[in-house]
Amino acid sequence: MLDIIKLSGGYGPRPILHDVSLHVNEGETVAILGANTAGKTSIIKAICGLLPRTQGRMTLHGQDLAQVPAHRRVAMGIACVPEGRHVFPEMSVYENLLLGGYHRRKSDLEASIQRCYELFPRLQERRAQAAGTLSGGEQQMVAIGRALIADPRLLLLDEPSHGLAPMMVDEVHSAIMKVNQEGIAVLLIEQNVASALKVVGRAYVLESGRIAMEGTADQLESNDEIRRTYLGI
Ligand SMILES: Nc1ncnc2c1ncn2[C@@H]1O[C@H](COP(=O)(O)OP(=O)(O)OP(=O)(O)O)[C@@H](O)[C@H]1O
């Protein structure tokens, strides 16, 4: 579904990403793993059309994304849950969710919001509450819910477990698996390698803006270098 071939780019003349090639198949769950500043968020930004400089080829369902602006990529089926959640604190949970569907027909939105409440019943209980007053984990649910209201085929998640208590991490990861069971492909960025490998089928390891390794979750979990460097085993 998503094909990235030899993507290089960054924010100025000095590239951050170097010849990154990766793909996500329809309905797959894939992770990009790597240390701080490896360039994981920059890949997500490139996919969303928000990385200022890019070279290489990127296609979604075979369609070249080079000339497609960020807002049209959402309509094509790419939705992003950004690092740090970025909910609108003074707006209610319901209003935050609605924002995710700005490009959709009003008549389709209520059904999507109901689906989101089924996934996160706590959001239904708190639908009228200002999003800024929710716990970190609940705000993460709003951010994921808002992306789902866009009705994506590919969901990009940038460190959804960052700063959450372990129980919340499990809840967010099980929600990601449920989303995937509905047929939505997931590209997940995580620093928590051990828990990410429990959620995804495949992963890429990014080092200094280059893909250093790739494989199935099982292959990576049993790789000595991964165990030493990322799993501390
Ligand atoms: N807006 C920006 N302008 C200039 N440089 C940037 C910008 N955003 C990120 N960078 C640089 O790009 C490099 C990669 O950052 P990126 O956020 O993609 O890494 P990351 O792997 O997601 O890191 P982290 O896990 O810390 O979020 C870093 O050296 C960072 O300083």
Q: How far is the CA of 41 from the centre of ligand 1 (A)?
A: 7
pLDDT on residue 104: 81
State yes or no: pLDDT of 232 exceeds 80.
Answer: no
Sequence-ordered alpha helix ranges (H) in the chain: 40-48, 70-75, 93-99, 106-119, 121-125, 136-149, 166-181, 193-199, 217-221, 224-229
Q: Model confidence over 24-76: pLDDT tens digits?
A: 999 999 999 988 889 999 999 999 999 988 899 999 999 999 989 999 999 99
Q: How far is the CA of 38 from the centre of ligand 1 (A)?
A: 7
Q: Model confidence over 91-141: pLDDT tens digits?
A: 999 999 999 888 888 888 888 999 899 989 999 999 999 999 998 889 999
Q: Model confidence over 140-194: pLDDT tens digits?
A: 999 999 999 999 999 999 999 888 888 888 888 888 999 999 999 999 998 888 8
Q: ipTM of this predicted complex?
A: 0.94
Distances (CA, A) of 106 to 102, 103, 111, 112: 9, 9, 10, 10
State yes or no: pLDDT of 233 exceeds 70.
Answer: no
Domain 1-77+191-233, what fold?
Rossmann fold (3.40.50)
What type of residue sits at position 180?
A: N
Which of 37, 48, 207 has most ligand 1 atoms within 8 Å of its beta carbon, as the pocket-test mutant? Answer: 37
* CB-defined site of ligand 1, < 6 Å: 11, 16, 34, 36-42, 191
Output the six-digit token pair for 210: 């280059």
Distances (CA, A) of 209 to 16, 43, 182, 212: 6, 9, 32, 9
- Domain edges within the chain: 1-77+191-233
pLDDT on residue 192: 82
Q: What is the Cα–Cα distance from 143 to 85, expressed in whole angstroms?
A: 6
In ligand 1, the atom with minimum distance to the C-alpha of 191 is: 25
Evaluated on CA atoms 117, 118, 120, 122, the torsion sign reads: positive
